[in-house]
Chain A
Amino acid sequence: MKTQFNRRGALARLGGILAGVLALPVARTAKAAVQRVFVSSGAARGYDPSKHKWLMCIDVNKCIGCGLCAEACKKENGVPEGPYFRTWIERYIIQKPKPGSGQTRGETLVDSPDGGMHGFPESPVPRDQIEHSFFVPKLCNLCEHSPCVQVCPVGATFDAPDGAVLIDPKYCIGCGFCIQACPYGCRFLSPVTKTAEKCTLCYHRITRGLKPACAEICPTQARIFGDLLNPVPDDPIQKFYEQNRVQVLKPYLGTAPRVLYAGLDKEVR
């Protein structure tokens, strides 16, 4: 009796494990199907996020501060007017040190009037007193370990497999925790939708084979956009790597950004 019972138990357990193994892909497919219905990312139909790895590289030396990228972004994505930006440009003016001050450089002035959308006014510092002046375009840093995703209480913001950090506007409860957690100030609470918003790399465009609006419009190719999994002949991303030593913003926070900069200065935060 006892052996028979044991055998039956063992068979039942084996059956259970087998059923579990068989059910796993079914569950995965079901999850993917549910996600397709409920997650709104703006991706094109048939787009497979696991076949891409998007990356943005920025050559600070090439940016002329024209502000077209910030303007294009606002128009393309319907970003509300006022202090709400998915991308913006900062101007750094590093002054020469005062003679005899014993310092390497003078005070650093930073500004970004209207996100740099309409260009920049004349420098408040006379030309002969400026040591360095440059423009730094900013956008979502596409962190590998994104603090914003980590803190979202409902999982409305998520890391897409293709490297984009997205927000599901139908799901976001508008608590603002992700905005507090983003070290780069890249998120805002939209006064229109009352949900968090941020750069999506123009997800509706890149999933259809186009470039993000900012990279498309940049007249000097300061913003280089590419796909690490599908390199093109004479790949600009590869070239950027070969020609520059790259940096990321606030590396000490361990967020591992995937927006890479060439030609940054220590004053840039």
Chain B
Amino acid sequence: MTSEVTNIVVEVLPRFEGYVYPNEATAHPLWGFLIVLYPYITGLVAGAFIMASLVRVFKVKALEPVYRLSLLTALAFLLCATLPLLFHLGHPERCYEIMITPHLTSPMAIFGFVYAWYLMAVLLLELWFDYRQDLVEWSKTTAGFKGIIYRIFTVGVTDVSPPAVALDVKMGRILSVVGIPSAFLLHGYVGFIFGSIKANPWWGNAIMPIIFILSAIVSGIALCVFNYMVLTWIRRHTVEMRCLDTMAMFLFYALLVDAAVEGLDWIHRIYAAEEGFSVMQTMIREKLFYTLNLGQATIGTLVPFLLLGSLQLLRRRVPEMVRRRMISASAAMILIGVLAMRWNVVIGGQLFSKSLRGVMGYKMEFAGVEGWFMGILLLGLPFVILTVLVKLFLSERLPTSGHTPHGSSTT
């Protein structure tokens, strides 16, 4: 390495308070906004899948209108889940090494396998079994490019006799049952990536996977509410209030459990007040003031909690119109709040020195791999994919088969 090369990369030092290790004094934290998006997107996948499982496994009939939409949402986001990780690597071209020579003690190494299992063995298969009967039907009636796509997706299996359809339903149910622990695994695993870092008192925490799973369920249900409202608005349909109220109910209880566990974590941290507590106080009071107190606690938890909670008590007295708005607003706020929570975990854990003697600053750029622009692009991409999926597989023009996800035929 010549000194000319190394001289180019002198960075402008940002401001620090107190003492930080010299290697920590870089202009940006090592893991930036992309790594904030990674647990956020993965969480939305897990949550949306759990939402779909409510219909399939727990037979909540009121949620049938959003069953397929939640599965497609999970797929659209899952297809984008690894992108932030990939872009942030120093050597993205070597990413296959994780699959070929995984280091088994690393919490990150098995993610590729968990991801592949979840995508291939759970989500795609469940969607295929659920859609098979329709795909056969559509491939016969649709011409052109769309028809070819449907024909490809049938994979040549055109048997729609009653025993075959019964098998589809059975397989779908089995996959969904397998899918729930898989979704927990997928996201709990992401939590463990942070929770296993004992060097960092902000991250190293036994209940981190549980916190991640619970907040994932909350954000996933909120995303399904959001998508359902947007879809009915675009299509000028009327919202099925029974479905929306049920989603709001599940959202409320998920939020309740999530807030309780996260609260417990905070109580423990404050009460135990271990080494580094004073640095954490600085974080809460200064560095993460807006994203933690305002974003995560107020917008993401307290306000939706009160809105959804009041609806649980006074549902019958609130007019439909107001209810719709309250639920939509809660869902949107929760989506922002959970993003803020991911920010607080990922960025928060890197805003103080591991010497516990100082704090760093972080100002996000607009351009660059870790900038706003890239972040918005990566957050928008799943919605673009979802639009295509909805056009293809939730088209209003195509008739759908009679079978319902939980198995009892209604037509």
- A192 and B6 contacting across the interface, CB-CB below 8 Å: yes
A81 touching B22, Cβ below 8 Å: no
Asked if A81 and B9 sit within 8 Å, CB to CB, the answer is yes
Stretch at the interface among B59-67, B191-199, B399-407: B191-199
A180 surroundings in chain B (CB, below 8 A): 30-31, 197, 199-200, 349-350
B234 within 8 A of A: no
Q: A151-B108, A153-B108, A191-B9 are in contact. Are A174 and B89 (CB under 8 A)?
A: yes
Bound together, the chains give a CA A154 to CA B23 distance in angstroms of 23
A88: chain B residues at CB < 8 Å are 21-22
Interface residues of A in 155-201 (CB under 8 A from B): 155-156, 171-177, 179-189, 191-196
Does residue A239 face the partner (Cβ distance < 8 Å to B)?
Answer: no
In the bound complex, do residue A195 and residue B90 qualify as a contact, i.e. CB atoms below 8 Å apart?
yes
Q: Is B107's CB under 8 angstroms from A151's CB?
A: yes
Q: Which of B329-378 contact A (CB under 8 A)?
A: 349-350, 353-357
The answer to whether B397 has its CB under 8 Å from any CB of chain A is: no
Give the segment of B92-100, B134-142, B143-151, B167-175 that binds chain A.
B92-100
- Residue of B at shortest CB range from A250? B199
The distance in angstroms between the C-alpha atoms of A183 and B200, with both chains bound, is: 7
CB neighbours (8 Å) of B321 from chain A are: none
Say yes or no: A173-B9 contact (C-beta < 8 A), given A152-B106, A154-B97, A185-B24: no
Is B25 located at the chain interface by the 8 A CB criterion?
A: yes
Check if B313 is an interface residue, CB within 8 A of chain A: no
**Which of these, A112, A171, A193, A269, contacts B94 with CB under 8 Å?**
A171
- Complex Cα distance, B22 from A187, in Å, reads 10
Beyond A151-B107, A195-B91, whether A83 also contacts B355 by CB under 8 A is no
**Assembled-state Cα–Cα distance A147/B102 (Å):** 16
Are A154 and B6 neighbours in the complex by a CB distance under 8 Å? no
Q: Which of B13, B90, B108, B353 contacts A172 (CB 8 A)?
A: B90
**Complex Cα spacing A180 to B346, Å:** 11
Cross-interface CB contact of A78 among B6, B9, B354, cutoff 8 Å: B6
A179–B21 Cα gap in the complex (Å)? 12
If A83-B23, A110-B19, A153-B106 touch, does A181 touch B197 (CB 8 Å cutoff)? yes
B18 — which chain A residues lie within 8 A by C-beta?
A: 110
> Roughly how many angstroms separate A94 CA and B133 CA in the complex, as a whole number?
76
Is A85 an interface residue when CB atoms closer than 8 A count as contact? yes
SS class, residues of chain A in contact with chain B: loop
Q: Are A155 and B30 in contact (CB under 8 A)?
A: no
The residue from A81, A154, A189, A192 contacting B101, defined by CB atoms under 8 A apart: A154
Interface residues of A in 73-91 (CB under 8 A from B): 78-85, 88, 90
| B238 interface residue (CB < 8 Å to A) | no
Contact with A along B106-142 (1 / 0, CB 8 A): 1111010000000000000000000000000000000
Interface pair A173/B98, CB less than 8 Å apart: yes
Does the CB pair A82–B9 fall under 8 Å?
yes
A230 within 8 A of B: no
Contact B108 A185 (CB under 8 A): no
> For residue A173, which residues in chain B have a CB less than 8 angstroms away from its CB?
89-92, 94-95, 97-98
Contact of B26 with A81 in the complex, beta carbons under 8 Å: no
**Min CB–CB distance B382 → chain A (angstroms):** 22
The verdict on A253 contacting chain B, using a C-beta distance below 8 Å, is yes
Which of A83, A147, A192 is within 8 Å of B198, CB to CB? Answer: A147
* A-contact 0/1 string along B290-329, CB 8 Å cutoff: 0000000000000000000000000000000000000000
Contact present for B90 and A194 (CB under 8 Å): yes
Chain A residues, CB < 8 A from B13: 83
Q: Are A82 and B5 in contact (CB under 8 A)?
A: no
Closest B residue to A80 using CB positions: B6
With A and B bound together, what is the CA distance between A88 and B355 in angstroms? 14
User: Once the chains bind, are A171 and B97 in contact (CB under 8 Å)?
Assistant: yes
Which residues of B sit under 8 angstroms from A112, Cβ to Cβ? 19, 21-22
Query: Inter-chain contact count A-B, CB under 8 Å?
Result: 152
A83 to B354, CA, bound (A): 15
Contact between A82 and B19 (Cβ–Cβ < 8 Å)?
no
**CB contact under 8 A between A174 and B90, given known A85-B22, A147-B198, A185-B354:** yes
| Chain A positions 99-140 with a Cβ under 8 Å from a chain B Cβ | 109-112, 114-115, 138
B272 within 8 A of A: no
A254 CB to closest chain B CB (Å) equals 8
Flag whether A40 is at the interface (Cβ < 8 A). Answer: no
> Chain B contacts of A192 at CB under 8 A?
1, 5-6, 9
CB < 8 Å neighbour of B23 from A78, A185, A253: A185
Cβ of B357 and Cβ of A110 under 8 Å apart? yes
Chain B residues within 8 Å of A111, by CB: 19
User: How far does the Cβ of A19 sit from chain B's closest Cβ, in whole Å?
Assistant: 26
If the complex has contacts A85-B22, A175-B89, A269-B357, are A151 and B9 also in contact, measured as CB distance less than 8 A?
Answer: no
Across the interface, which residues of A come within 8 angstroms of B354, CB to CB?
182-185
| Contact yes or no, A154 B9, CB < 8 A | no
| A29 sits at the interface (CB 8 A) | no
User: Is B286 part of the binding interface, using a Cβ–Cβ cutoff of 8 Å?
Assistant: no
On whether the beta carbons of B103 and A183 are closer than 8 Å, the reply is no
B105 contacts chain A at the CB level, 8 A cutoff: yes
A150 within 8 A of B: yes
Chain B min CB distance to A213 (Å)? 15
Instruction: State whether the Cβ of B7 lies closer than 8 Å to any Cβ in chain A.
Output: yes
User: Which 3 A-B pairs have CB atoms at the shortest separation, nearest pair first?
Assistant: A174-B90, A185-B21, A194-B90
Residues of B at the A interface (CB closer than 8 Å) are 1-3, 5-7, 9-11, 13, 18-19, 21-26, 30-31, 85, 88-92, 94-95, 97-98, 101-103, 105-109, 111, 193, 196-200, 349-350, 353-357
Since A181-B197, A182-B354 are in contact, a sample of 15 more A-B pairs with Cβ atoms closer than 8 Å, ordered by chain A residue number, is A78-B6, A82-B11, A83-B11, A83-B24, A88-B22, A110-B18, A110-B355, A150-B105, A171-B94, A177-B108, A180-B197, A180-B199, A189-B30, A194-B90, A194-B91
